[in-house]
Amino acid sequence: VFPPFSPLQVWYMDGYYKGRRVLEFRTLSDFVSGQNFVQHLLPQPWAGTGHVVFNGSLYYNKFQSNLVIRYHFRSRSVLGQRSLAGAGFNNTFPYSWGGFSDIDFMVDESGLWAVYASNRNAGNIVLSRLDPQSLEVLRTWDTGYPKRSAGEAFIICGVLYVTNSHLAGAKIYFAYSTNTSSYEYTDIPFHNQYSHISMLDYNPRERALYTWNNGHQVLYNLTLVH
């Protein structure tokens, strides 16, 4: 969550495909109680769970396409859309759990990113830096890690971390640095209390990881990735 919104605001999108309803809660306690929300109805349905809110806009993947959609909350309008050239969609290159998770948007200290895969790079994870206004791809890195073998992924300070499973026993298994265009294999246990992670993202403002884990919203301390 970034300005102009409060750091306590929460956005909720139910399900991983064909949904259009976004609920905006003013506080975390409102989200927990399911009260005091504003509803937004997106003009195009979404796919997957890799959506992100950044600088007042929601960035999401349009269902059955490789289109990036930028929806602005205040004006309740689409401010831009662009195709991610070659990116697989419709469960072509999802994470291991499926769920139309072909395209995953992320935000870290340096801006907006997209994780996806294509036939051209044999289904390996591609990481692209995006211009948040125009949605233009500024630069792309081919990590060499097969996306279908990844449980989930998140980015911190330009380093992409990948888990080897979405189930119990998962580990942060792979790290790719965009600063050096190099990778390393890691062996960091990732506590998966409810045994099925279907969303994992880093919040640079709170320096915490957020997950959706088998119907539970779970927050992780950043020390897990040190």
With respect to residue 3, please indicate whether it lies within any of the assigned structural domains: no
With respect to residue 178, please indicate whether it lies within any of the assigned structural domains: yes
With respect to residue 38, please indicate whether it lies within any of the assigned structural domains: yes
Amino acid at 138: L
Q: Supply the pLDDT for residue 182.
A: 98
pLDDT reading at 215 higher than 50: yes
Confidence grade of residue 7 (pLDDT, cut at 50, 70, 90)? low
Of 85-94, 133-142, 209-218, the poorest mean pLDDT is in 209-218
Number of separate domains in the chain:
1
CB-count burial class (<10 Å; 0-12, 13-18, 19+) for 186: middle
Query: Quick one: average pLDDT of 25-39?
Result: 90
Query: Quick one: average pLDDT of 125-135?
Result: 98
Confidence grade of residue 113 (pLDDT, cut at 50, 70, 90)? very high
With respect to residue 87, please indicate whether it lies within any of the assigned structural domains: yes
d(CA 188, CA 171): 5
With respect to residue 4, please indicate whether it lies within any of the assigned structural domains: no
Query: Quick one: average pLDDT of 117-131?
Result: 97
**What single string gives the DSSP state of each residue in the chain?**
--TTS-TT-EEEE-SSBS--EEEEESSHHHHHHT-SEEEEE-SS-BBSS--EEETTEEEEEBTTS-EEEEEETTTTEEEEEEE-TTB--SSSS--TT-TT-S-EEEEETTEEEEEE-BTTTTTEEEEEEE-TTT--EEEEEEEEEEGGG-S-EEEETTEEEEES-SSTT-EEEEEEETTTTEEEEEEEE---TTS-EEEEEEETTTTEEEEEETTEEEEEEGGGG-
Q: Supply the pLDDT for residue 67.
A: 98
Query: Quick one: average pLDDT of 73-95?
Result: 97
Percent of the chain with pLDDT over 70: 95
Query: Quick one: average pLDDT of 36-51?
Result: 96
With respect to residue 14, please indicate whether it lies within any of the assigned structural domains: yes
Q: Provide the CATH number for the domain around residue 200.
A: 2.120.10
pLDDT reading at 193 higher than 90: no
pLDDT tens for 147-189 read 999 999 999 999 999 999 998 889 999 999 999 999 999 999 9
